[in-house]
């Protein structure tokens, strides 16, 4: 049996169940003798080995955790082995160990203890929701809840963490360093302290929403929920899918304009406006119990996986043409389209007319090669319009043919016409 034991932060945190197992086992591994709980084991005359040498030789924490797991799983295969850590949830080797043990068929028993994060929150009087993470695994905080970062064992590591946190919190945000004592200080000062150890934790209290230095996707969802809520914005609360449907097109077109201008700052801003429309519609749908933003994300992820069998499956493709062919074939199956007419009818009627014309031509499989006959046809259509009583219909046919020539030239008729409009305006500015 492999026992994975959470020892906590010191002598008083060791549970009776954990102590009983260690007293009966002769093959005990402690993650590090730098843990304060190591002194408690020494007092109890419990013999153990540590992985401290691996901390020096491992290239990174991933390799370290793999080697720890490998050692525990292969050492003493016919007997009991104990792997003891301060906190189970904050030790990345634990997950690796449990996963590999299942593969090897080795039984595992997990004995929880009082975590360093729990101690840190208790001593700093933090309550409510808590997010805890080992310093080596830390990526980003959640400013809405108390964040506890464990094993901050050096000023260098504290400095790295501070740099990441300053993207989200102001420099004067009040935090706590906990080890033997509780030290309240400003975030900007955490790497100027001394006496860091393996048991040092950084406790970051939640931040007032409007005071954040940087926001993420979850905050956008929260803001939209507040705006649509009981005490939210009157205008936002009045909107429906229909009332803001044109906003989606307007914001998308402004994003396209930023792309054409090669303006990355404007593109960033406009993509935010596009994303707002997605979140806005998802929030309204959620209120009506139709779907929510997670359903939207789930749907597009599944769609991408299904339509990229050459990446997520065993399909082979030679080039991008085959990718598009597979994509369209899978799309037809998903939408139950049995004929070319079904495909054409599915092309959105709300697209700008020139864009819709090009998409219909592509879906219909019109030839991609430009010929002199295309230009001859244009001339014939112009002549027909001049002498016709049905000029509107024939003019539409002419535009459809012109769009087809643009497609064959590799030009977007919509963008070309838009550029011509801009040049027309510029002429009046000269």
Whichever domain contains 389, its CATH number is 1.10.287.1080
Say yes or no: 186 and 275 in one domain: no
Q: Mapping DSSP to helix (H, G, I), strand (E, B) and coil, where does residue 45 land?
A: coil
Distance CA 319, CA 299 (A): 26
CA 144 to chain centre: 17
Domain that holds residue 229: 217-283
Instruction: Quickly list H helices, 243-352.
Output: 245-260, 264-287, 293-306, 309-312, 320-334, 340-345
Average pLDDT, rounded, for the chain: 87
Mean pLDDT for 379-398 is 88
**Rounded CA gap, 117 and 146, in Å?**
11
Q: What is the mean pLDDT of residues 77-104?
A: 82
pLDDT of res. 173: 92
362: CB partners within 8 A, 6+ apart: 407
State how far the Cα of 377 lies from the Cα of 380, in Å rounded to an integer.
5
Residues 75 and 141 in one domain: no
- Tell whether the model's pLDDT for residue 13 goes beyond 80: no
CATH at 139: 3.30.950.10
Q: SS3 of 127, please?
A: coil
Tokens matching residue 357: 């014309």
Domain end, chosen from 211, 226, 242, is at 211
Segment 250-254 mean pLDDT: 91
Domain boundary among 113, 134, 166: 113
Same domain assignment for residues 205 and 230: no
Q: Are 2 and 83 in contact (CB under 8 A)?
A: yes
**pLDDT at site 244:** 95
| 162 and 258 fall within a common domain | no
Q: Where would I find the H helices in 106-238?
A: 116-123, 155-165, 217-228, 234-238
Residue 184 has pLDDT above 70, yes or no: yes
Whether 205 is in a domain gets the answer: yes
- In this structure, the answer to whether residues 53 and 78 fall within a common structural domain is yes
Q: How confident is the model at residue 176 (pLDDT cuts 50, 70, 90)?
A: very high
* Domain identity same for 130 and 103: no
pLDDT band of 337, cuts 50, 70, 90? confident
| CATH code, domain with 81 | 3.40.1010.10
Q: How many domains does the chain have?
A: 4
State which of 113, 136, 158 marks the end of a domain. 113
- The answer to whether residue 240 scores a pLDDT higher than 90 is yes
Residue 40 lies inside a defined structural domain of this protein: yes
Average the pLDDT over each of 3-12, 190-199, 346-355 and give the range with the smallest value. Answer: 3-12
Tell me the C-alpha distance between 14 and 19, whole Å: 7
303 pLDDT tier (thresholds 50, 70, 90): very high
**49 and 79 inside one domain:** yes
Provide the CB-side half-sphere exposure for 430 (13 A, CA): 5
The answer to whether the predicted template modeling score (pTM) of the entire model surpasses 0.85 is no
């Amino acid at each position: 049996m492999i026992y994975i034991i959470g020892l906590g932060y010191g002598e008083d945190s060791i549970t009776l169940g954990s102590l009983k197992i260690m007293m009966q086992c002769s093959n005990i591994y402690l993650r590090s003798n730098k843990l304060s709980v190591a002194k408690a084991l020494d007092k109890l005359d419990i013999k153990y080995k540590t992985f401290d040498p691996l901390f020096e030789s491992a290239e990174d924490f991933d390799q370290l955790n793999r080697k720890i797991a490998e050692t525990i799983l292969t050492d003493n295969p016919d007997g009991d082995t104990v792997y003891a850590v301060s906190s189970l949830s904050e030790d990345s080797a634990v997950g690796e160990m449990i996963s590999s043990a299942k593969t090897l068929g080795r039984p595992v028993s997990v004995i929880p203890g009082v975590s360093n994060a729990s101690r840190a929150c208790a001593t700093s009087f933090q309550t409510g929701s808590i997010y805890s993470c080992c310093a080596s695994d830390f990526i980003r905080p959640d400013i809405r809840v108390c964040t506890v970062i464990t094993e901050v064992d050096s000023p260098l590591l504290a400095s790295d963490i501070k740099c990441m946190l300053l993207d989200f919190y102001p420099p004067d945000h009040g935090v706590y360093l906990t080890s033997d004592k509780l030290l309240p200080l400003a975030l900007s000062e955490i790497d100027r302290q001394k006496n860091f150890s393996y048991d040092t934790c950084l406790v970051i209290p939640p931040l007032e929403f409007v005071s954040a230095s940087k926001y993420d996707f979850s905050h956008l969802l929260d803001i939209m929920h507040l705006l649509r809520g009981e005490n939210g914005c009157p205008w936002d609360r009045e909107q429906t899918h229909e009332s803001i449907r044109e906003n989606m097109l307007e914001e998308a077109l402004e994003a396209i304009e930023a792309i054409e201008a090669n303006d990355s700052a404007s593109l960033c801003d406009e993509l935010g406006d596009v994303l707002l429309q997605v979140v806005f519609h998802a929030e309204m749908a959620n209120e009506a119990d139709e779907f929510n933003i997670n359903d939207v994300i789930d749907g597009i992820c599944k769609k991408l996986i299904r339509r990229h069998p050459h990446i997520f499956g065993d399909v082979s493709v030679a080039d991008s043409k085959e990718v598009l062919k597979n994509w369209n074939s899978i799309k037809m199956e998903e939408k139950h389209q049995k004929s070319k007419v079904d495909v054409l009818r599915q092309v959105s009627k709300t697209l700008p007319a020139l864009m819709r014309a090009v998409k219909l031509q592509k879906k219909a499989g019109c030839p991609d090669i430009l010929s002199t006959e295309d230009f001859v046809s244009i001339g014939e259509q112009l002549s027909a319009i001049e002498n016709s009583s049905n000029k509107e219909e024939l003019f539409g046919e002419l535009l459809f043919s012109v769009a087809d020539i643009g497609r064959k030239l590799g030009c977007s008729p919509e963008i070309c016409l838009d550029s011509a409009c801009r040049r027309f305006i510029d002429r009046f500015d000269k």
